[in-house]
Structure 1
């Protein structure tokens, strides 16, 4: 997670929690206000803050101090420096767990899921993940093919599910997240209808796939995208996507119901 000590310095400017995702998390957790939720890989604490503002107590676990320093203080959020594979929380100390677009950064998924089960009482784990194999290959990957290739290296959804089942013994449900056209949380494919946003360095800085990619490949894609937007070629070739209000680009909620 040391990558976020370098790329995460302005993370909170573009990775603003989307209220629709927050509402889905709360719906899937199905917990009364005042419950304790662990946010694994909490980043700058955007979703921790959103949950705290809805009346929950949150234990935010994040290895990057750079990310933690950007967090907004809240009386109902406690911060812990730690990794998913060795959570700094006691057994059965929380009522629910969330992990939002983080598991592809974990080094040992089996151990991470075991740790999630260890810290939770009877309750629910909600993971937001993705599998690009379920996505259509939109314009974004024509300009930045490394994003597609990078995502194909992540575990297929069925393997993620099997790992969760074998390491938590929970009941697993999978719910697609159709991406709205106006997401505030600008993760990798979030600006699917707003190509101009990818030209902004601060937006790319909040997307780990860009941060890890070869800069020459990025520059090549940026130059082509900027030229096509200026000339109208992008609109002629891809403009129909702007008729959509939401799209399935492979993002999935995994809801795990546990009885410990």
Structure 2
């Protein structure tokens, strides 16, 4: 069963696609309007929607029926049920491929990259992923060490890039995604300047590391954060972060092209 069949029931309430991330994707794609873009692991279709609104056609591939049912229908989006390792798309049927914060859920990265290469023509393959080793260890991980521990299980960025190169014969470039303080897409570290967001069950439910970790430990972190926010301890320890407009917490776009 796809993991988001169990944890994705209210995904669209906290994972609202951020227009700036979509714009960066479109800039990196560098394709004319009307091009067909495959969105692998499209979830509820948020980024597919934003890209389709800019004049592109999107093939949204998602294994979870719970996620697909939350999608808003769009005339330029065609939905497919399937996994990255066995894409339900014909050879050379799309102009480019994107996959946004998904590859840590893939069961076989090499096979997934081979499949992306199979279905795409000459356009780019673009992934948004992260490598915690490139990040400063900010306050979130003091309250929720599970986020740090889970992230350390993911492959380093250079190993991912190497896997892409080996399985697609493409050159890979990395582009940092600086996290602004007001992101609408509340993925793991997105609320770095809004600690109160992590007190909300619906926000934590949209972050897989929270959903799969020992809930007793999560609740301990929530309680400690709640106490520290109310008694001023959080502000005393971490308040300087409120002066920052953006931070680099290890998120990267990887663009593979010929």
TM-score (ref. length: structure 2): 0.99
Q: How does 1:23-172 map to 2 (within 5 A)?
A: 23-172=23-172
Q: Could you tell me how far apart the structure 1 residues matched to 2:103 and 2:227 are?
A: 35
Partner of 1:122: helix, strand, or coil? Answer: coil
How far the C-alpha of 1:42 sits from its partner, in A, is 0.1
Q: Could you tell me how far apart the structure 2 residues matched to 1:148 and 1:34 are?
A: 40
Q: How does 1:237-248 map to 2 (within 5 A)?
A: 237-248=237-248
> What is the root-mean-square deviation of aligned Cα atoms in Å?
0.6
Is 1:226 the counterpart of 2:235? The answer is no
Q: Could you tell me how far apart the structure 2 residues matched to 1:37 and 1:46 are?
A: 14
Q: How does 1:177-216 map to 2 (within 5 A)?
A: 177-216=177-216
**Structure 1: tracts of 5 or more residues without a match:** none
How far the C-alpha of 1:2 sits from its partner, in A, is 2.0
Partner of 2:204: helix, strand, or coil? Answer: helix
Partner of 1:192: helix, strand, or coil? Answer: coil
Match of 1:21 in 2: 21
Deviations along 1:166-206, one digit per CA (max 9) or x if unpaired, are: 00011110001010000000000000000000000000000
Q: Could you tell me how far apart the structure 2 residues matched to 1:24 and 1:134 are?
A: 20
Q: Could you tell me how far apart the structure 1 residues matched to 2:180 and 2:114 are?
A: 33
How far the C-alpha of 1:84 sits from its partner, in A, is 0.1
- Count of matched residue positions in the alignment of Structure 1 and Structure 2: 258
Q: Could you tell me how far apart the structure 1 residues matched to 2:146 and 2:72 are?
A: 34
Q: Could you tell me how far apart the structure 2 residues matched to 1:21 and 1:2 are?
A: 25
Q: Could you tell me how far apart the structure 2 residues matched to 1:173 and 1:60 are?
A: 24
Q: Could you tell me how far apart the structure 2 residues matched to 1:139 and 1:256 are?
A: 33
Q: Could you tell me how far apart the structure 1 residues matched to 2:3 and 2:125 are?
A: 26
Partner of 2:154: helix, strand, or coil? Answer: coil
Partner of 2:25: helix, strand, or coil? Answer: helix
Q: Could you tell me how far apart the structure 2 residues matched to 1:200 and 1:3 are?
A: 21
Q: Could you tell me how far apart the structure 1 residues matched to 2:98 and 2:2 are?
A: 21
Q: Could you tell me how far apart the structure 2 residues matched to 1:222 and 1:59 are?
A: 38
Partner of 2:173: helix, strand, or coil? Answer: strand
How far the C-alpha of 1:6 sits from its partner, in A, is 1.3
